[in-house]
Amino acid sequence: MSPAATTELLPRLAANPWFAALAPAERRALLAACERQRLRPGEMLFRQGDAVAAGQGAFYGVASGRIKASSLREDGKEAILVVIEAGNWFGEISLIDGQPRTHDATAIGEAEVLALPRAAFDTLMRKPAFSLAVCRLLAGRVRSLYGMVEDATLRSTRARVARRLLLLAHGDATHARDARPVVPVSQEALAMMLGVSRQTLSKELQALVAAGVVVLGYGRIEIEDAPALEAIGRDGAG
């Protein structure tokens, strides 16, 4: 990537906590080695099970748009694991363990990703500061997965809805410090994230609307009372 492109992208990506925590020199080195790639709506970056041959593959950052990480069952039912928004980086697992891709990565609308080739990734991983940063990235993913397992096994559906909305308010994979009041998610997508039917989700959302906690819109959910939503997420063990 050209120095001008690197300079242009730096402030945009620095809004992400993980990227912002890198030293300035590491941020520039990471972006300088990347290749830009545009994706059409619905275009797949990679598929679950895709092999990553030795010396191949890439570590990806989202420059604009959103990428969904999902799995598809044989009967066509889809589970959305996480929505990866601009500033987030992903795809490191297969580069580290050499195993196939763990999920599908698909563009939601138009998107632009930054692809860090395997050779450049391996070079950066030899630097202790960058390899430690990748460890922190993985640790964050493990914490999120543990939280999802706990929610699925111990909490009521309403509590799960509340907690996922709060997570999405912080950017889902981003884990931003400040929450946004409007979550850009459709009810269909939210149902796929939670692994529940549209009917079940609709019932729970209507209960939250009646309580004055959220307002439903087209492709978006507005959080009216964040403290109340947090209380529902904490107290909704089922």
CATH 2.60.120.10 residue window(s) in the chain: 3-139
**Quick one: which of 184, 92, 107 has its CA closest to 142?**
92
- pLDDT tens digits for range 176-204: 778 899 999 999 999 999 999 999 999 99
**Quick one: which of 118, 126, 115, 113 has its CA closest to 95?**
118
Token pair for 207: 């209960």
Residue with tokens 């990480």: 69
Look at 143 and 235; give whichever has higher pLDDT: 143
Stated pTM of the model: 0.87
Q: In what order do the strands lie in the sheet with 220-223?
A: 182-183, 220-223, 214-217
Cα three-residue angle 28-44-185, rounded to 5 degrees? 85
Give residue 116's pLDDT band: very low, low, confident or very high (50, 70, 90): very high
CATH 1.10.10.10 residue window(s) in the chain: 155-235
Give bridge partners of residue 215 from the DSSP assignment.
222
CA distance 54 to 211: 54
- pLDDT tens digits for range 53-76: 878 899 999 999 999 999 987 777
Per-residue model confidence (pLDDT) at position 156: 93
Give the Cβ contact number of residue 196 at 10 Å: 17
Query: For domain 155-235, which architecture applies?
Result: Orthogonal Bundle (1.10)
Per-residue model confidence (pLDDT) at position 236: 58
CA distance 133 to 168: 23
CATH number of 3-139: 2.60.120.10
Long-range CB contacts for residues 73-76, cutoff 8 Å, separation at least 24: none
User: Count of alpha carbons within 13 Å of 222, Cβ hemisphere only?
Assistant: 6
Mean pLDDT calculated for residue range 166-179: 84
